[in-house]
Structure 1
Amino acid sequence: MEPDHGPEQPGRLGPGTLLLMSAATGLAVAGNYFAQPLLDVIGHDLRLSAATAALVVTVAQTGYGLGLLLLVPLGDMLERRRLAVVLCAATAVFLTVTASAPNAALLLTGTALTGLTSVAAQVVMPYAATLAAPAERGRTVGTVMTGLLLGILLARTAAGLLAELGGWRTVYWVNAALMLLMAVLLRLRLPALRTSAGLRYPALLRSTLALFGQEPVLRRRAVLGAVCFAGFSVLWTAVAFLMSGPAYGWQESAIGLLGLVGAAGSLSASAAGRLADRGLAHRVTGVAAVLLLGSWGLLALGGGGGAWSLAALLAGVVVLDLAAQAVHVSNQNLVYGVRPEARNRLNSAYMTSYFAGGAVGSALTSAVWGAGGWAGVCALGAALAAAGVALWVLDRLRPVPPAGGRTAHDHRSEPAPATL
């Protein structure tokens, strides 16, 4: 570890610094979700088709996935404060590119680069866990995790409100200023911290990719997570088109308020984690996968535009978010139990697959919405959810290996905190 030049000593993480790290993670990931309630207004302003506008979500998730794969493992070889500060500052710069974009090319470029560097959140999360005293590590990660979840859930709401006040570009200008502030505050408040895996960068990346071949639990759970997050992205990519269309005719601020409905997902994350700690991760996954499938039945009823349709839509959003978070947390509990000493690289491998699934889901939505509207979107989401149920069943039916072999059911290692 490098000498500590900050006000906090590792193992003595003060509440102010912890709150700062929580805010930084939330603001970093929020930039990837601002566009979702604004796709229609962005499309009109830049004269984009619905399919092109939806690509904003796709490239954000693709960029984030590349950042998870290429940048997050750097936390095992570079000084973490410097890495976090550079990523936050770069995110601020790229947000200004999006905010000032005059056409689709610059809009998509700025969005992709913002997604790439917004993985600062995934650098700050293990940073906080390392700085915390061992007896406070769970509470510390839970606090930072809350900030991250709130960033995801409230991004859509904030985007809608700010767009109503000053147009869609205002959203990105404000987030750019806040991310620059986070970079300055993190530099001033955090101690220098270096941990080394003893590998050079190419070897570090190779070791991350090698985990897929070495760990069947990672492979199975990565595929399941990708499928479930693809369905999650299908909903949040298409819902802005539905709510701004003739069925509902909502304004951007009202569409953004739908993000508040997803707050129930943060409750399920905590409950799923507690159940996983009791050895019930597989059951949690199965129940959540079935609920995910059922949610699309409710969502399909939400395309009519009346009061009952709205009620069904909101219920479907709540159930889908609850189920998606439960699958995610139970997946990570099992994956991180495989190799506790390699959790950063396991996190990179799993989350890369997870967000790749989201990018595919958004891309499919772009095509399906134009061809089949809301009914086609719901059919796509239901098909992805059914695939998730099938993957869980296949995992449970697979042959049990000889005694001493490691399986997905072997999670004797300490449970790991969940991250997004």
Structure 2
Amino acid sequence: MNPSAENPARVVATQEAEAPQELTPLLTLFFATAVGVIVMNLFAAQPLTGSIGRSLHLAPELAGLVAMLPQLGYAAGLVLLVPLCDLLENRRLIVRTLACCAVFLAIAMFTDSRGVFLLAIFLAGAASSVIQMLVPMAASMASESHRGRAVGNVMSGLMFGILLSRPAASVIAGAIGWRAFYGFAALIDALLAVVLYLKLPDRLPVVATRYPALLRSLWTLLRTEPVLQRNAASAALVMGAFSAFWTAIGLRLAQPPFSFDMNGVALFALAGAAGAIVTPLAGRAGDHGMERKALIAGHLIMLVALVVMGVAGAGWGGFSVSTHPALAVALLVAGAAALDAGVVTDQTLGRRAINLMDPAARGRLNGLFVGVFFVGGALGAMFSGAAWSLAGWTGVCAVGFAFTGVAFVLRLIGAVRGTLRVARRPSPTR
């Protein structure tokens, strides 16, 4: 049955002009690189907050805006810009949005005005939502049988970008100043816009609505689509665990017996990023009908990783961190990689499910999915800070364990229900 016919509240047609161009391995690599570079705009400011605040003479209570505004802008872009994928020709929309992002980053580089800088990074964050235009574009260029693999490959770039953004920004800013980072980001985004203009095919969705109605349909999709609800909730929970860990790990590594400086934390982040290599494997698991098993395995890996990091960072089980600091660091790196692997498995398979839904709503579905898991990430960071002040590293691991445990239980319940539904189906008659 036509999915739009099942839900008359939808305001989109069910056909679109799919891109005829095939998603080649080279294009897949380019998509992954592009989203990995663009996502750095959202997270790189976190280690630069102090130097930017001092340079622009921001009051201490306002310095946090440097890290917060790009992500607030991104959330606004998910709601206001990404739905345009279902209304406007995608190639022009992507190129123009990314070009605007480059302009805003260049303004942030040159301005000495606090207000102009904060507005520029907010708008750059909003324009960085072009990431969620590129992912459905890549999905539309892949055949349905390989869509999970395609989304997984592109998502690997996104996760590498998130994990590497902080150390990359620290290295660039430490060598030539924070303004150089924004200039470098502006130049890269401008070059990407040119290449995307040359390489992307035209993709014109067919809709039967206008922009205000398109925005109103976001709530309808969130309220009526169980596949979106289930996968977005799971992604939000595991992103909460991910955010809790990466928010506090720098604080733990700065303490004895580790006493890492900023470069040491950056190297740790590079090592922990190894977990992102499972992303294409997760997509292939979905393409081969092993989605539920892969999701449950990913969550179990995360739970084990959090226990390992509790042992290595807080001495759970009687382990002496001060006596074996090298072993503790090795366990923390292995735990970080395993945690990241579980997160990307959940998000890759969730995205695959989202991109197999109604193609005419693909832009909005991706925007909603990402918006919900960003809420989970924000909650994880908030609870992590509170847990760190109250119970140190043990509290942080407990927060991650709680988020992941709820996601695991929800997926397990879904798997049991799915098995029961299959068992109750009548046998086909001959």
TM norm. shorter chain > 0.5 = yes
Specify whether residues 123 and 72 from structure 1 end up closer, same or farther in structure 2 by C-alpha distance, changes over 3 A only. Answer: same
Question: Is the 1:296–1:381 Cα contact (8 Å) retained in structure 2?
Answer: yes
Q: CA deviation at 1:40?
A: 6.6
Counterpart position of 2:129: 119
Which residue type is aligned with residue 296 of structure 1? L
Are residues 1:328 and 2:347 paired? yes
Specify whether residues 228 and 139 from structure 1 end up closer, same or farther in structure 2 by C-alpha distance, changes over 3 A only. Answer: closer
What SS is found at the alignment partner of 1:195?
A: strand
Which residue type is aligned with residue 42 of structure 2? N
Specify whether residues 51 and 319 from structure 1 end up closer, same or farther in structure 2 by C-alpha distance, changes over 3 A only. Answer: farther
Match of 1:265 among 253, 257, 275: 275
Partner Cα separation in structure 2 for residue 221 and residue 172 of structure 1: 34
Higher deviation after alignment, 342-351 or 284-293:
342-351
Counterpart position of 1:354: 373
Match of 1:233 among 243, 247, 264: 243
In the TM superposition, what whole-angstrom CA distance separates every residue of 1:246-298 from its partner, at most 9, and x where no partner exists?
55333333322233223333322222222222322112222211221222222
Are residues 1:385 and 2:404 paired? yes
Counterpart position of 1:311: 330
Partner Cα separation in structure 2 for residue 114 and residue 188 of structure 1: 23
Partner Cα separation in structure 1 for residue 115 and residue 256 of structure 2: 29
Are residues 1:299 and 2:309 paired? yes
Mapping of residues 13-24 of structure 1, within 5 Å: 20-24=30-34
Partner Cα separation in structure 1 for residue 265 and residue 239 of structure 2: 21
Which residue type is aligned with residue 326 of structure 2? A
Partner Cα separation in structure 2 for residue 206 and residue 333 of structure 1: 24
Partner Cα separation in structure 2 for residue 380 and residue 145 of structure 1: 25
Q: Percent identity?
A: 36
Q: CA deviation at 1:324?
A: 0.7
Which residue type is aligned with residue 356 of structure 1? V
Counterpart position of 1:220: 230
Match of 1:66 among 76, 79, 90: 76
Equivalent pairs counted in the alignment come to: 398
What SS is found at the alignment partner of 2:42?
A: coil
Mapping of residues 245-256 of structure 1, within 5 Å: 245=255, 247-256=257-266
Which residue type is aligned with residue 302 of structure 2? L
Partner Cα separation in structure 2 for residue 274 and residue 17 of structure 1: 18
Specify whether residues 293 and 129 from structure 1 end up closer, same or farther in structure 2 by C-alpha distance, changes over 3 A only. Answer: closer
Counterpart position of 1:79: 89
Higher deviation after alignment, 152-161 or 267-276:
152-161
Q: CA deviation at 1:352?
A: 1.5
Q: CA deviation at 1:116?
A: 1.8
Give the CA RMSD over aligned residues. 3.8
Q: Which ranges in structure 1 are unaligned for 5 or more consecutive residues?
A: 1-8, 407-420
In the TM superposition, what whole-angstrom CA distance separates every residue of 1:147-199 from its partner, at most 9, and x where no partner exists?
43443343233223213312344322311221122234434554554223232
Are residues 1:284 and 2:297 paired? no
Q: Which ranges in structure 2 are unaligned for 5 or more consecutive residues?
A: 1-18, 315-320, 426-430
Question: Is the 2:148–2:348 Cα contact (8 Å) retained in structure 1?
Answer: no
Specify whether residues 293 and 139 from structure 1 end up closer, same or farther in structure 2 by C-alpha distance, changes over 3 A only. Answer: closer
Which residue type is aligned with residue 196 of structure 2? L
What SS is found at the alignment partner of 1:119?
A: helix
Question: Is the 1:98–1:107 Cα contact (8 Å) retained in structure 2?
Answer: yes
Are residues 1:163 and 2:182 paired? no
Q: CA deviation at 1:353?
A: 0.8
Partner Cα separation in structure 2 for residue 323 and residue 50 of structure 1: 36
What SS is found at the alignment partner of 2:39?
A: helix
Counterpart position of 1:194: 204
Mapping of residues 202-217 of structure 1, within 5 Å: 202-217=212-227
Question: Is the 1:225–1:354 Cα contact (8 Å) retained in structure 2?
Answer: yes
Are residues 1:274 and 2:287 paired? no
Q: Which has the larger radius of gyration?
A: 2
Q: CA deviation at 1:141?
A: 5.5
Compute the TM-score of the two structures, normalised by the length of structure 1. Answer: 0.79
Partner Cα separation in structure 1 for residue 58 and residue 383 of structure 2: 18
Specify whether residues 75 and 352 from structure 1 end up closer, same or farther in structure 2 by C-alpha distance, changes over 3 A only. Answer: same
Counterpart position of 1:5: none
Are residues 1:344 and 2:344 paired? no
Specify whether residues 271 and 127 from structure 1 end up closer, same or farther in structure 2 by C-alpha distance, changes over 3 A only. Answer: closer
In the TM superposition, what whole-angstrom CA distance separates every residue of 1:312-365 from its partner, at most 9, and x where no partner exists?
211210110011111112223334444455333322222221112112222333
Higher deviation after alignment, 183-192 or 117-126:
183-192
Question: Is the 2:86–2:362 Cα contact (8 Å) retained in structure 1?
Answer: no
